[in-house]
Chains A and B, each alone.
Chain A
Amino acid sequence: EPEVTQTPSHQVTQMGQEVILRCVPISNHLYFYWYRQILGQKVEFLVSFYNNEISEKSEIFDDQFSVERPDGSNFTLKIRSTKLEDSAMYFCASKDTGPYGYTFGSGTRLTVV
């Protein structure tokens, strides 16, 4: 069964450093997403991406965040200057056109120290 692949599985970074979280969505999917989950809290929407541009973003997704699909397969989330409160699980997801469900990746645990 096709999978969404996320790397790394765990990243530790110092406050103020830039991080890039990587995702390989399912190849024929057209919609791409990043969600995050702070430990013990809800899964929160960050951003959706379609047709090579952001289609919607949440209040969390401020100027420190950016997304890119640099080639036909990767989908990345960059956090420019990490803060302690950015520590969370970050999930990438993709879906096909139509009312089909998402496929989520297994997540990247980001720890900012």
Chain B
Amino acid sequence: DAKTTQPTSMDCAEGRAANLPCNHSTISGNEYVYWYRQIHSQGPQYIIHGLKNNETNEMASLIITEDRKSSTLILPHATLRDTAVYYCIVSYTSGTYKYIFGTGTRLKVLA
């Protein structure tokens, strides 16, 4: 089973920030948090990852709580093209790096 829980769906107005939460209360010290998104039936697309510090790249920001039990993915100015299923995944930093996908959050960006 997935080690993360996410809301099933969310709506966001175009141009506004989309904040997608993820709970990973059983995360261990050597597990990273990864975020991916899947548009229709395309292959999942990597967005961002982090261990304990907040991270930002050209796509999004990742905020990880100090106890690392939850995180939030922030899309600062959502566009219609950001409509997708967003997956939060925890994975070890060694070994096979296998992912266990949950059901994700279906984000709908509204015009």
CB pair A95–B97 under 8 Å, yes or no, is yes
CB pair B34–A56 under 8 Å, yes or no, is no
| Residues 31-68 of A at the B interface (beta carbon under 8 Å) | 31, 33, 35, 37, 39, 42-45, 48, 50, 55-56
Known A99-B93, A101-B49; judge A45-B43 contact (CB<8 A): no
Q: Is B103 at the interface (CB under 8 A from chain A)?
A: yes
| Residues 65-106 of A at the B interface (beta carbon under 8 Å) | 89, 91, 93, 95, 98-106
Known A42-B102, A99-B32; judge A48-B97 contact (CB<8 A): yes
Name the one of A42, A55, A91, A100 contacting B43, with C-beta atoms under 8 angstroms. Answer: A91
Known A99-B49, A102-B46; judge A45-B41 contact (CB<8 A): no
**Residues of chain B lying within 8 A (CB to CB) of residue A48:** 96-98
CB pair B41–A37 under 8 Å, yes or no, is yes
Main secondary structure of the interface of B (DSSP, over half): loop
A16→B97 CA distance, assembly (Å): 33
A4→B42 CA distance, assembly (Å): 12
Our count of residue pairs bridging A and B at CB distance below 8 angstroms stands at 62
| Residues 23-58 of B at the A interface (beta carbon under 8 Å) | 32, 34, 36, 38, 41-46, 49, 51
CB pair A107–B34 under 8 Å, yes or no, is no
CB pair A44–B42 under 8 Å, yes or no, is no
Interface size class of A (residues with CB under 8 A): 20 to 34
Q: Is A109 at the interface (CB under 8 A from chain B)?
A: yes
Name the one of B42, B93, B96, B103 contacting A107, with C-beta atoms under 8 angstroms. Answer: B42
CB pair A107–B97 under 8 Å, yes or no, is no
Known A42-B103, A44-B101, A89-B41; judge A101-B96 contact (CB<8 A): no
A43→B89 CA distance, assembly (Å): 12
CB of A108, distance to nearest CB on chain B (Å): 10
> A107: nearest residue on chain B (CB-CB)?
B43
CB pair A55–B96 under 8 Å, yes or no, is yes
Which residues of A come within 8 Å of B, CB atoms?
4, 31, 33, 35, 37, 39, 42-45, 48, 50, 55-56, 89, 91, 93, 95, 98-107, 109
Which residues of B come within 8 Å of A, CB atoms?
32, 34, 36, 38, 41-46, 49, 51, 87, 93, 95-103
